[in-house]
Amino acid sequence: MNVIVCVKQIPDPALPGALDPSTKTLKRDGKLILDESDSYGVEMALQLVGKAGGGEVSLVSMAPNGETSGMRTALAMGAARGVLVSDPALQGTDALTTAKILAAAVQKLGGADLIIAATESSDGYTGTVPEQLAEVLGLPSITFAKSVDVDGTTLKVNRQTEAGFDEVTCTLPALVSVTAGVVEPRYPSFKGIMAAKSKPVDTVTAADLGVSPVGWAGAGQEIVEIGQAAARQAGEIVEDDGEGYAKIVAFLESKKVI
Ligand SMILES: Cc1cc2nc3c(=O)[nH]c(=O)nc-3n(C[C@H](O)[C@H](O)[C@H](O)COP(=O)(O)OP(=O)(O)OC[C@H]3O[C@@H](n4cnc5c(N)ncnc54)[C@H](O)[C@@H]3O)c2cc1C
């Protein structure tokens, strides 16, 4: 069974992020890391391939400056190879064109039985790329997976809902987007980190994949305004004089939590 995982490489969320005021986008010029959201997809893929007893996990990523640091983390976890799409012409590429680029990268890898993405990324989080990617590839998609299993050619997913979960199935090949916590991602071993250095990552441009227009020219999405998030206001501290619980209950009732 062959699985392709979409891995977004993002600025380290532990460092202060910076916006480019001229383009109103996140600055992505430093080192990029594997989005934690996608580490769940990589782990899920490795477990499914292991259970199937054969096949491999491949990666597709679109990122600036030929950046592969995040992909190397996924390769160190156990993925076999990857395609990186990196190209100055991609600057300003919106979610739909990203999906078209990733679809072409998937096709370059020869397709797969299953494609895995995260429900949403940590830095941009439109939460639209996985479904757009499935549509471009003409595949069924199941979203918000809290557990994933494959039985022969059937994909079985418990799909997170507000009330619990739905049991959803479809026929492979398909795309599934997974939620955080679907599995516990493994830490790359030292051996895995060393092996990842020599695993193949094919770096291509949008033109190599035959996708155009890209970048600002192809974007149907526009960021019209950016601003600072409002500072959080101080919370109210309830001193317990024996009746503190009543104030907390009144507060929760006012918020319609209870
Ligand atoms: C106006 C604008 C300008 C942009 N400019 C650039 C730019 O100059 N250079 C650049 O590299 N990016 C750029 N981006 C970001 C890039 O296009 C995003 O990857 C895309 O918009 C989707 O991001 P998202 O976080 O909303 O996806 P979501 O739909 O929230 O992501 C869900 C999942 O889809 C997959 N996925 C999403 N994006 C990627 C990706 N890039 N590679 C692999 N898997 C992915 C991952 O599994 C991810 O967890 C720009 C985005 C916008 C809106």
Q: How far is CA 40 from CA 134, 138, 145, in A?
A: 19, 24, 11
Residue 13: per-residue pLDDT: 92
When pLDDT is averaged across residues 30-45 and rounded to a whole number, the result is: 97
DSSP E strands: which ranges in the chain? 3-6, 9-11, 19-20, 25-26, 32-34, 57-62, 81-85, 114-118, 141-151, 154-160, 165-171, 174-178, 201-204
Residue 16 clears pLDDT 90, i.e. is over it: no
What span, in angstroms and rounded, lies between the C-alpha atoms of 214 and 40? 29
Nearest atom (ligand 1) to Cα of 126: 26
Q: Which of 10, 69, 98 has most ligand 1 atoms within 8 Å of its beta carbon, as the pocket-test mutant?
A: 98
pLDDT tens-digit map of 140-187 = 999 999 999 999 999 999 999 999 999 999 999 999 999 998 899 999
What average pLDDT does the structure give for the chain? 95
What is the number of H-type helices and E-type strands within the chain?
Answer: 8, 13
When pLDDT is averaged across residues 237-250 and rounded to a whole number, the result is: 90
Residue 22 clears pLDDT 90, i.e. is over it: no
Q: How confident is the model at residue 114 (pLDDT cuts 50, 70, 90)?
A: very high
Q: How confident is the model at residue 21 (pLDDT cuts 50, 70, 90)?
A: confident
Q: Answer yes or no: is the C-beta of 143 below 6 A from any ligand 1 atom.
A: no
Q: What secondary structure, in 3-state letters, does 159-182 show?
A: EECCCCEEEEEEECCEEEEECCCC
pLDDT tens-digit map of 121-143 = 999 899 999 999 999 999 999 99
**Amino acid, single-letter form, for residue 19:** L
Residue 95: per-residue pLDDT: 96
CA 50 to ligand 1 centroid distance, Å: 29
Q: What is the pTM (predicted TM-score) of this model?
A: 0.90
Q: Answer yes or no: is the C-beta of 43 below 6 A from any ligand 1 atom.
A: no
Residue spans per domain, the chain: 3-254
pLDDT tens-digit map of 47-61 = 999 999 999 999 999
CA 133 to ligand 1 centroid distance, Å: 12
155, β-bridge pairs: 150, 170
Q: Answer yes or no: is the C-beta of 37 below 6 A from any ligand 1 atom.
A: yes
CA 90 to ligand 1 centroid distance, Å: 11
Q: 3-state DSSP call for residue 11?
A: strand
Residue 254 clears pLDDT 90, i.e. is over it: yes
Residue 157 · residue 148 · CB < 8 Å: yes
The fold of 3-254 is Rossmann fold (3.40.50)
pLDDT tens-digit map of 182-241 = 899 999 999 999 999 999 999 999 999 999 999 999 999 888 988 888 888 888 888 888
Q: Which protein residue's CA is at the shortest distance from atom 41 of ligand 1?
A: 62
Q: Which of 9, 59, 93 has most ligand 1 atoms within 8 Å of its beta carbon, as the pocket-test mutant?
A: 93
Q: Answer yes or no: is the C-beta of 98 below 6 A from any ligand 1 atom.
A: yes
CA 126 to ligand 1 centroid distance, Å: 8
CA 240 to ligand 1 centroid distance, Å: 48
Q: Which protein residue's CA is at the shortest distance from atom 47 of ligand 1?
A: 117
